[in-house]
Amino acid sequence: MPILKFTIKGVEFQYIGEQDEIMAFISRFTSAKIGSIEDRVQLVGPEESRRLDEMVKSAKEKLKLENQAVSPLELTELPLPPDEAVISYITSKPQFEHHLLEIQRKFFGRVFSSRGKDQRMYHRTARHLRLIRDAIEMRYNGKFKEKPAGIRNLKCFTFVKNPVLPQVTLEEKQTKS
């Protein structure tokens, strides 16, 4: 059963019901039947009112999308997350430890299968993550080591920084020889 959650002035509201009921609730909340838009703006403020309008639009779109069957071609159309967003997420973790399923859950809200209808999206995200790991290796002067994550054939990647070798000056070389 769908759940609609929203917060107004720090108070969290939750509405549970069928899709039609939630859509009717959203319509009533945003329409002038409950009160004019000016009344709502006075109740929550103009900025909060705009934010609520955006939340309502995204909730309506999400409810419509959940009831539509997604074709495999539409899954390959999903945009990949920006490189910097993924890099900042990975580098915020201890030892930059991550695995593919974690990244998929974080940025897409679901896990793709390596077989079946979302196979292409799985491989797109895996390839994208590999390129991002290469960029992190270059930026932070190190290498990712892979180890089993304990879930099937899932690989967990941990960053190991390259050791800094002491710089030997020309004078030190001459004194040693």
pLDDT digits (tens, 9 = 90+) for 93-143: 999 999 998 999 888 888 888 888 888 889 999 999 999 999 999 999 999
The token pair at 138 is 């270059």
Output the CA–CA distances (angstroms, integers) from residue 13 to 3, 16, 30, 37, 66, in the order listed: 10, 10, 15, 20, 22
Using alpha carbons only, give the angle 110, 67, 25 rounded to the nearest 5 degrees: 105
pLDDT tens-digit profile of 13-49? 676 777 777 666 666 665 544 444 444 444 455 666 6
Distance from C-alpha of 152 to C-alpha of 160, rounded to nearest angstrom: 24
Query: For the chain, which residues make up each domain, given as ranges?
Result: 3-66, 72-161
Average pLDDT, the chain: 74
Count of C-beta atoms within a 10 Å radius of residue 173:
9
Whether 48 and 9 have beta carbons less than 8 Å apart is answered as yes
Distance from C-alpha of 64 to C-alpha of 44, rounded to nearest angstrom: 27
pTM summary value: 0.51
